[in-house]
Every structure is written in structure tokens, then in C-alpha cells.
Structure 1
Amino acid sequence: MPVEDFFASCPRGLESLLVDDLLHAGARECRAIPGGAHFVGDWPACYRANLESRIATRVLWRVAQGAYATEEDIYRLALDTPWPRWFAAEQTLRVDLDAKNSPLRSLDFVTLRIKDAVCDRFRRELGVRPSVDTRSPDVRVQAFIDRHGCTLYLDTSGAPLYQRGYRQKTVDAPLKENLAAGILRLTGWEPGIALLDPMCGSGTFLLEAAQMVLGVAPGARRSFAFQRLRNFSSASWQQILDRARSAERSAGEVRVFGSDASPVAVRAALANLDRGRLLSAVQLRTADVREAEAPAPTGILVANPPYGERAADRDELASFYPALGSALKRHFAGWRCYLFSADTRLPGLLRLTPARKTPLFNGALDCRLYEFRMVAGSNRRPTATANPG
């Protein structure tokens, strides 16, 4: 079977986990770069990467590449690309452009010229052109330009892959699902180990963990853009999908726990779990994290605590964090606790020393995943004492 060139994007900091996913899906020659990984593979590998990767944001198929000096060179590259071979004029189109160190002055104009070239190619071959739909297009062309070269891709994913099709109800500042999945992987959690999110919000960590417990592939309940391409093999896809669904299993003993001080958040998490048919894998309750009890002698606690960008919020959190640190010491000896935050004051205000801190990005926000090993009496920062003389 012929191989193609692809690029999968992901949250920055999770590239090595993405490569693991791609290799598991059958990809070859994976090469990580900041924000993603290049790979080669056949179409079943592309289908599986979309279906099975918990870390990828999109999987893009490279269809053209060339040098440029002006916008017209990019137009010519796009015009020479056989778009009608891959999708129909009746399908709607969107063009997106990312650039790094490009000398061109107007990226909007470059985007327009690529769109014009795609439409002109259709007109030249078929006498008709696709319509543009910027909200929910059938086909998405992604262009990337750097200082000297332009690469054109067709998006095989459609909606971003972190949109699993489960979460409808949200509370403030939910994490994207692929970032939450990456954080769970970085903690070392696996089904069978007790897991608690005591500030669960709308339940993103719980949704990802429940899917893993039940063996549900992250893309098993959604559709993909590759299904709308002319070269789509429905037989190959159905075989892959059937294999994934046959691997699903029952929950067994519940080892995933969630709580939140807000009843509204708990109801949102319950609704999302119910929508995904994942409730059997999770226990949920309303509780303040400062009073939460460990549901097992050992396990992993993971949370995305609030971090304020306004001064008033930061002052309020400065009093919340010490109480949180005391609660972790009091109730979670024997647990490994992971807190994801953009607030660099977190360890100091918790009065705990992290065993590890992993740089990650939540969108453009520079964050850290802090690991605290809660062995009774060993984590508190020493306080200065007067010299008795």
C-alpha cells in the first residue's frame, strides 16, 4: 500500500507522547518538532491516528511543497496541485495559514491567493468551483509558510481531535481533552490505579480516564474529514472501527473518583459522563478539596486548580493555596499529587516542595505540571528558627 506524508499537531510539551501514539497507530519515520510530529504512513495509519490518538489535535496530509519568493509563487504552487482529485466542487472549503519568519507582508492576502488558486484549479478542470464556508467546511486546506518554503496540507481530522463528542456542558476554563489526556499519561496513571480529581469542574480528566478504563477509543463516537475525501476507503475504515469497538470493556470496580465544591460543576460533569456512556467508570460527589478524603490508601491525585490573572483573584488564591497544601498533607499521605497551573507561586504558597515540574502549554499559556509525593511529614518546607545562642 502506498505511503503518504503527514503532520500531526499537539499541545506543546506533549510531542514525545504524540510520537508514541503515532507509532502505535502504524506510523513510521516519526520526527517530533515543537507542537507536533511529521510521519509517513499508509491511509490505515492515518485513520488509526485520528481514531486512537489521545494527544493529537489534527492530522494533516501533505499534498504540495515548494519554495517561494512572492505571493504569486504560492498561488502557482496551489494552482498546480490537483485538488479535484481529492474532493468535489459541491463540497465547501476553508483555507487556513500559519507562518513562521515569513517575509511576506500580508498573510491574509496569501490566504486569499491560496483560496483563489484552489477555486481556479476547479474552474479550469470542471468549470465550477467550491463555495467557502469558514464555520463548518467539508474540506479544510492548511498552508504553512516559513522564510523560504510553503507546504500545503489537507486536513484529515475535521473538528479538532480533542472534541471527542462527549462534552456539552462546561464551567469556566475547561482544559482541552488532549492536554488532559497528556497530563494523565505524564502522571503514570493507568486503569486499576486509584485516581482522584478533587476540583473536577466539567470533568475533563474524568472523561479521559473513564474512556481509558472502558477501552473506548477517543474518536469512536465522532466523524472525520478523511471520510469526505475521494480516496476514502470505507471498507478499511470500517474494519479499523470494528476492531476498536470490539476492544471496549466493562468498568469493573470503580477506581476513578471526582469531586468539586460547586454543585453546578458536579452536575455538568455527570451530564458529560452520561452523554458519553461513561458513568459506570466514575464516582462523583460534591466536596470542598480542603476537606476531601482519599478514596484509597494510595493513588494519584490530579487537578487543575484555579489560577487568577486579576490581582483580586491572585490575592484570594494566596489564602486558598496554603489551606490546599495542608489538606494534601493531612489526607493524602501515600499519594502522588499532580497540580497543573500557570501560577509559579503555587509550590511556595502550598508550602510543599515539588519532586518534579514539567513545562507544558495550555494554548499560549506557559504552565507547569507539579508533582508532589505525599509522604507524611516529608514535604513541608523547613521554617527558619532562631539560633538559641
Structure 2
Amino acid sequence: MSELQVLPVPSGVGVVGILPLLSELLDGTAPAALPVPAADERETRRLTDALRPGEPIDDGVALVVATSGTTGVPKGAMLTAAALRASGEATHARLGGPGSWLLALPAHHIAGMQVLLRSVLAGTEPVVVDVTEGFDPAVLPAAVETMTSRRRYTSLVPTQFVKALDHPGAVAALASLDAVLLGGAATPAPVLQRAQEAGITVVRTYGMSETCGGCVYDGIPLDGARVRIDDGRVLLGGPMLATGYRGIPDHPAFAEPGWFRTDDSGSLTDGILSITGRLDEAISTGGLTVVPQVVERALNEHPAVRECAVFGLPDERLGRRVTAAVVAESGTLPTLDELRQFVERTLDPTAAPRELHLVDALPLRGPGKVDRRALESRFG
């Protein structure tokens, strides 16, 4: 056994300095590494305290990538070099071949790390957009212009993409790429419609740290990936699957050999996967169950809603009441009554929000995932 090493991941263009080490990790010639954000001491401490670098780890593990789960305590998905290669090669096969990548995500998370690993596999150097101080779509045109490979890709989260759609130069730059991968959270249908009208090739990805990132593209599993539904729950398998969680050998998510038991609910129709929500985020209200993501999809159709998140708050009568936090479109001021009526057009009245909070931005955990617990703490 070797010992798990800390891999400080720089922000900005300095991140290309770790590409040689990533190449060694993919070849299986470097000890297992735990990526941490080099410029964030607090997050580095949180990850190292939980995942214990310096202690032994199985020789087959290449990376231990922290999850961005809802418990607040990071789990470390143990990914082998073979799994990372399988993921990268299946991605390029689905997209039409290797190419150059634009990195606009924190690279210590799996989505950003995969941009670097795919670049190594393609033999290209990624173009890097520094997101240390946030994502600025105004820098995309110049960044995309420097990408010289025949095929060009990037990976974003929906919150970034929404910003980019409001910047004409960024829209044109993204439209010139062969694919824009969108993952981390569900993308609202109106956003996808705007992208289509702008000529942007969007690929919706589904996956997590435990599957080396996205393993289902536009509802269809990548080569080798497997999907099945067990009592409404999504299970994932295939060569890109993690071997388990560091230090938690008996975790129930990996209890069935060859499969990862997600906390997502979904369905398979003619081989196409649809995700309906998170099983651990469902709201029990008045004896009924409301899935936040279903309500969010309905709210996102309203012309005054730019972004939204639905969560539950304690209620003496109902147990939990459905609550919405909304980032309104510029110049609009949606009211609770109009949003309730709008939701009730397509969903049962039980699902319509009973409380509304207009916010400037939604809190996030990890890349692009809404932090519902932060909203519950703020408004509860």
C-alpha cells in the first residue's frame, strides 16, 4: 500500500502545472492523490481532516475526489486510473473525438478535474478561465479564440450558463464550440430553449464524483455505463465506477458489487434516463410528498423567474411548507400569488409554494448545486 498524497490544485492558468502529475496518475505510476484547492486553506483543512492524507490507501486508487453531498461531511470517492480513463475515452467517443477543452470550473471538483484529465488523454493543453473571483462571461470570447484544435469543448454548470446567455459575445463564443457540457444540477427547459435558439450545442450530463463525473449524456449512458431503476431509485454501474468511499468500506451506496446506489429518483423509458429529483430532499407536507425539482421545473417556466430553489420549512399545521427562493428576471417582481397560480396550472396545489423569498443569488455547494440547507437556515 502507498500513502494518499495531497494534490494542491492552483486556480487560474497555474493549474496547467499539475498536468504532468495527472498524466502519471492516469498511467498508474504516481501515488494516489487528494485534490484540494491550493488557495483555500479552510476548504483544504476540511477535506484533509475528513479524508486523511498520509495514511495508507490501496495501490489501485489514482484519485480520491471529495463529494459535494448534502450531509456537509465530505466523502472521498476512490477512483482508479482505469475508471478515469474509461470515463474520458467514453466522453470523447460520444462527443465525436478528442479535442481541446476550456476549463471554467474549480479543478479540485470532479467536473473541473475531468476537463484536465480529458485534456491529458487528448494530448492537448486546456485553455483556462480563472474563476477564483467568480465566473465572468465577458472573458469567454478571447478564451475560446485561443482554442486551436479541430474539435473544441467546455464544461459549465447551469448558473454559469445562464450568465453567459445574457452576454452576446459569450453566446457567440459558446456557439462556436462543438459541445458545451452542462452538469452539476438540472438545467431549466427555458434555458435550453434559449441555447438552442442561439445555436449552442448543449449536452446535458448526469453523474457524480462516484462515477468519475458525467456518465449519462442527454439521458443516454456512455459506452460501458449501466443504469437501472430500483423502486424509483437510480443505480449506476460500469467501468467508470468508484471502488468505494475512503475509510467507509461498508457504505450502503456500494453494497451491491458493480453498482452505485444514488439518492436520485428517476425513470427509464426506451433506454433514456430521466431524473425527477433527490430522494433525500423530498418535502413531506400535509401528508403528501413534494419533490422540489419538479416544482422548480414548473417555476422556471414563468417569464419572471431567472433561477429558483424549492425547499421545506417547519409548519405547525402541515409539518413542512413548500417554500421558494427566486432570483427574478431584471425589471420584474413576481408575487407569491401569481407563482402559486402558475404552478397550479401543471401541478397539484399541494406542490405550489406557500412562501416566497426574492434573492439576488442562490447559495451553492460544490459546482452548481443549490445549497437547500443554507436556504432553510436563512429563512427557517
Q: TM-score, normalised by structure 2?
A: 0.31
Structure with the bigger percentage of strand: 2
Q: RCO higher in 1 or 2 (8 Å CA, sep ≥ 6)? A: 1
